[in-house]
Structure 1
Amino acid sequence: MRGIISPKLEDFLTQANNALAEAKRNKVEWTAALIRGNLDKLAAFMSEAPELAFVEDRSLDFEGRELAVRVYSPAPNEPLPVLLHFHGGGHMCGSVELYDPISRQLANTVRCVVICVEYRLAPEHPYPAGIHDCQHALINYKKLLKGVAHNDTVGIMGDSAGGAICTTLSMNSLKNSDIKIDKQILIYPSVDYTMSSPSIQSNGSGFLLEQDKIRWYFQQYFSLKANNNLQTTNESELQVIKQASPLYGPFSNKMPETLIFTAGCDPLRDEGLAYAHALHEAGVKVSHHQFDGLIHAYMLLQDLVKEECQQTYQQIADFMLELT
């Protein structure tokens, strides 16, 4: 079923859809630089970035290079829960800097230590490079917190592609005892690279995140050869992306308690719902909230949907409160 958009987003979507139509008329070709620049423009809709007592860029040594992160704490002398934050962006774009207002809001509202990870991006670094980076940060997060008080509880959070990373790490935790996750928070997560859920079709146009753009993201991420119309993948490619999709992976009651947010006008809506159902069937405690009139990436549009974003932060705070 196609979603019905909130009036708060109508003007924004009209402008976005007009720009998309013009780009198609001019036969503008997608590139990593173009889509990164376009996503970065959404920073204009996140004017609130709370001041915090502690914000510092740090790094871990990993595979002979530095893995950069930014650490946030509202009270660096108070032992708070830790939240690893993996940003969205289709595995191709997004950054610690773009998501800085969100990380600050999380630290401030949830009252936790936030570690936002600058993981590697496709197409320069395709699957599974970004997952390896985030898993290394999760396993070694305490090394990043010298001089920052924290307790021994840790959650993970990601939106969109960041949600794919979270759910992959939760799946990996079933076979790797070094991965400790107390809770996971997923915001409009990407968990099915096969693009087979009904909302991919029903919400696949007119709501900012377009169906053909999703497929193009995944082709870059998995280094797949695109056909001219970006319509299909072949059987061997389908097998690769299905194996990487957390929705088709193992589920167990040993997976962390999970909070999931979905958006009614998001192409990824139904796979988020399916993931919540699969966790529940496996015996995992799951909480789910849907904002019916919102679109994918609504957290990057806070100035337009301030109340809904604040509700999201507050529900995350309530969910994490049990860790204190």
Structure 2
Amino acid sequence: MRGIVSPKLDDFLAATNKAIADAKAQGIQYTPTQVRANLDKLAALMNVKPSIDFIEDRAFTMADGRSLQARVYSPNPTKPLPVVMHFHGGGHMCGSVALYDPVSRQLAHTAQCVVICVEYRLAPEHPYPAGIHDCQHALIHYQDVLSGIAHDGSIAIMGDSAGGAICTTLTMNRLKNPAIRIDKQILIYPSVDYTMSSASVSSNGQGFLLEQARVRWYFQQYFRHALANEEEVKRASPLFGAFDADMPATLVFTAGCDPLRDEGIAYVNAMQDAGASVEHCHLDGMIHAYMLLQDLVSEECQTTYQRIDRFLNAEG
């Protein structure tokens, strides 16, 4: 079923759809430079940037000697607060700590938590599983970048879109790597099915910013030659991984006009069937990437941050 979009997004989508149609008419092909620049334009729609007491760029030292950059936020660096590892979205190809800075700030401010936003490697220069390796290292060694910052010892992960794919992949990986500890998981319109088999990929795949053809192209760049066949791509998809009752407590946001809507709902259902703790918040008139459109849908974004606050800081 195709979603019915909020009128708040009508003008934005009209302009976006015209630009997409013009590009197709001119035969313009996707390139990493183009899609990165287009996503970065959304920074103009995120003008709410709360002041945070502590913000600093720090780095993890990887086993191969390179540095993995991260930005650390704390609204009160002397108070023990929960920690959230923030893995940004962008189709595994786009996005950055800088673009997602308003999101990290708002998260730290509203949920009163320490946020670590990771500058993981992107495809196609660094295809699967390079970004996963970076984020897994950061999760296991998160305390390495928290020198001088109080925290309460709890660790949650949060990601939107491809960042949600990273979160759910790390949740799968915990079964084979005991060094991985995740207390809570926050997924915002997550990408969990690289086979693109859910009905909403088609029904919502045109006219709502994220288009079906672009999703397919993202995945082609991400996997490149790392996975040889469809079965391997399916095994890499968190939706088809193992679910168990001991999975971290999870909060999932889905959007009614998102091509990824149905796979997010399927992930919720699979967690429920496994006896895991999961909460689901559905925003019917929203599109994919609505968190990067805060100036247009401020109420829905604030609802999302407030729900994260309640989930993250709930007892038990």
- Scaled by the length of structure 1, what TM-score is found? 0.96
Q: 1:198-277 residue pairs with structure 2 within 5 A?
A: 198-223=199-224, 236-277=228-269
The alpha carbon displacement at 1:237 in A equals: 2.5
Change (3 A) 1:308 1:27: same
| 2:52 pairs with 1:52 | yes
| 2:172 pairs with 1:171 | yes
SS in 2 for 1:56: strand
- Other-structure match for 1:311: 303
- Other-structure match for 1:25: 25
- Other-structure match for 1:101: 102
CA distance in 1, matches of 2:228, 2:149: 47
Q: 1:28-177 residue pairs with structure 2 within 5 A?
A: 28-62=28-62, 63-177=64-178
CA distance in 2, matches of 1:275, 1:190: 10
- Other-structure match for 2:11: 11
The alpha carbon displacement at 1:240 in A equals: 2.1
The alpha carbon displacement at 1:106 in A equals: 0.2
Contact persistence 2:75–2:114 (CA under 8 A): yes
Unaligned runs of 5+ in 1: 226-234
Could you say what the CA RMSD is over the residues aligned between the two structures, in angstroms?
Answer: 1.2
CA distance in 1, matches of 2:12, 2:163: 24
- Pick from 297, 316, 322: which aligns with 2:314? 322
Task: Report Cα offsets for 1:14-52 as digits up to 9, x if no partner.
Answer: 000000000001111111011000000000000011111
CA distance in 1, matches of 2:71, 2:233: 30
The alpha carbon displacement at 1:211 in A equals: 0.3
Unaligned runs of 5+ in 2: none
CA distance in 1, matches of 2:315, 2:88: 22
Aligned length: 315
- Other-structure match for 1:289: 281
Contact persistence 1:174–1:254 (CA under 8 A): no
Task: Report Cα offsets for 1:59-103 as digits up to 9, x if no partner.
Answer: 011122000000000000000000000000000000000000000
SS in 2 for 1:214: helix
Task: Report Cα offsets for 1:213-237 as digits up to 9, x if no partner.
Answer: 0000000000059xxxxxxxxx952
SS in 1 for 2:313: helix
Change (3 A) 1:174 1:123: same
CA distance in 2, matches of 1:253, 1:117: 28
Contact persistence 1:71–1:116 (CA under 8 A): yes
Contact persistence 1:45–1:300 (CA under 8 A): yes
CA distance in 1, matches of 2:313, 2:243: 25
The alpha carbon displacement at 1:194 in A equals: 0.2
The alpha carbon displacement at 1:323 in A equals: 5.8
Task: Report Cα offsets for 1:237-285 as digits up to 9, x if no partner.
Answer: 2112101100011111111010000000000000000000001111111
- Scaled by the length of structure 2, what TM-score is found? 0.98
Contact persistence 1:174–1:255 (CA under 8 A): no
CA distance in 1, matches of 2:228, 2:45: 41
Q: Which runs of 4+ in 1 moved over 2 A?
A: none
Aligned partner letter, 2:4? I
Task: Report Cα offsets for 1:263-311 as digits up to 9, x if no partner.
Answer: 0000000000000000111111110011110100000000000000000
Contact persistence 1:224–1:237 (CA under 8 A): no
Aligned sequence identity (%):
65
Aligned partner letter, 2:303? Q
Aligned partner letter, 1:41? K
CA distance in 2, matches of 1:180, 1:322: 19
Aligned partner letter, 2:46? M
CA distance in 1, matches of 2:126, 2:314: 37
- Pick from 285, 292, 297: which aligns with 1:300? 292
